[in-house]
A and B are shown apart, each in its own frame.
Chain A
Amino acid sequence: MNWTSSTMRMAWRNLWRNPRRTMLALSAIGLSVMLVLAYTSILRAYGEWIVETITGPMLGHVQAHAPQWRKDRLMDRTLRGVDAQLVELRRDPDVASATARVYAPALAARGEEGFAVIVMGIDSRAESGPARLLTDVAEPLREREAFIGRQLAELMNVRAGDEVAVVGQGVDGSLANDLFTVKAIVTTSVDLINRQGILIQLSTAQTLFAMPDEAHEIVIHARHPEMASTLSRRLASATVFAGAEVLDWQTLAPEMVTLVRITDLAGLLVLMLVFIAAAAGVANTMVMATFERTREFGMLLALGTHPARLMRLVVAESIALGVVGAVMGSLLGIALVVITHRTGIDYSWLAGGGPSELSFAGLRFSLRFYPTLRVVDVARAIAAVVVTSLLAATWPALRASRLQPVRALRGV
């Protein structure tokens, strides 16, 4: 076939000879593409949001421990020289943040009754933030202050301002005990902390449990979450972590991986459906539009247009329509995503006006998420439309070229 620029120019002129029909088709295609991109952006947001929600607060992207600590949780299995390790980590360009934690099983009492708790020493400043452990806390913890998990506070009948005694054991086996003032009752995204947790400042914990410059866990957030495994491997072989166990979140929480994968796969399945729906719509539009122009084609054939040329024309129009519509739709879609990305979408109203937070497997998720698009998504959508238009135009184009002018003129 011989595609000349005149074919394209004629195709373009033809389109605009019937502006209303063309605009209609363009709108249909454009809106379809916009919707496809809208869904894709939601899918991406959902996928990223789930990973963020799982890894943000407690898990992080990479964790380091002394070997064996995860299995038996013995107090004296600690990481040593933690200050230096943190400094080193924070200098690493791939590390967004790094912080240390102490975990100590202990007894806590407001009055005489002792309750089994877990005392966590954390850097409250580092662990505060929108997707972090402490989301609703304004000021960091001072030396003798503690946060207490909500359910534990209810169990112990403790309110902010109360004094709580904490008794535990140091890493050297010595008795560790002190009084803490409850600064606030917190609800974190980790069920265990809400039910049994008392949070104190990391340095206080290190002193209390006789473990200066030591910690049980270092939590690292990567600058690029998808690179968590690579980062983990690299850090594992770094000298700063010699002798420690360094793992990525996928290894630490395989059940979470399952959750994320199932969600991703289901989402992809639906994306396929969305594409098919869009393609069907585009195809329908094209085919319908072309068939409605039987008389016009008859005219052209009667005037001497070569059937092959007519076919090329029809296909060219189709592709032009597809490309323009797709580009328009893409721009709309990108605009939509840019707007919602900034503020995020809170879809609790979709969930039936329910709680603005939900939880899964001990974590609590907030329902606000941020649609995202990548270049490849737009490219894919446009390509799909163009291919569909091409294919959709083939049948009508062939038919057009085979028309008998006289019959066509009559509109048959």
Chain B
Amino acid sequence: MLNILVTVKVVPKPEEVKVDQETKTLDRGNARSEINPADMAVIETALKLKDKYGANVTVLSMGPPFADKFIKVAMAMGCDNGVLLTDRVLAGADTLATSYALAKAIDAIGDQDLVICGEESSDGATGQVPQGIAEWLDFSHVTYATALDLDEENNKLEAVRSLSNVTEKVRVPLPAVAAIITGAHEPRFMDFERRRELENGNTVKMLSAADIKVDPKRIGNAGSPTIVTGLKQLKTPERKNIRIEGKTAAEKAERIWEYLEKEGILKN
């Protein structure tokens, strides 16, 4: 049977994170966590393939111990196994060290035909990890995919890639990594009964850095070529905030027009 692994990241809700102006560090404060929005489409994509071809689907996340409850959500949606790679030594990783740790975990889990990731995470938003995992594992890769299908006979993955001015259909040999565009598929609801069942026992497998035999020089800060030297809250430009008043829509439209004309906005 086909083995599919989906990567899921648990991220703080973007609107609830601020920069502490004193320390110039991220203030996650009481920011609530969520499954990275792009990854919801990833889970759905994997489950669609499972519905069509039958597959064993494993959810893998790297993050703090509390991420297990989000893995259980993915399992309650229909994924078969959950794995959480959690270890403080993995923290502080940039895209190189992150892709290494995930690739090591995927290699340790073993025998995966297809790895599906989100196009990017809402916190880092670099969109570079899926291709990186593919390179470490010597897998083929496809990015910016909206739909996946299998060519079972030839052991290949078929994907539709949606680029800014091009849509293309590509075929790559398995094993492969595919990165799915945010919102490509509406995720299904979870099965609440299964969610309750998952509360009991060790339903999510925990892995440490030692379990997957990482090279300490390649993880965390030590394995990260890029460093963050500062943070800033981006300021938006000052705006005039003029409230347009009027009794009717026509009156308001007239006010808008007067302003545009006064400022010469619609000239030539």
A and B held together in a complex: no
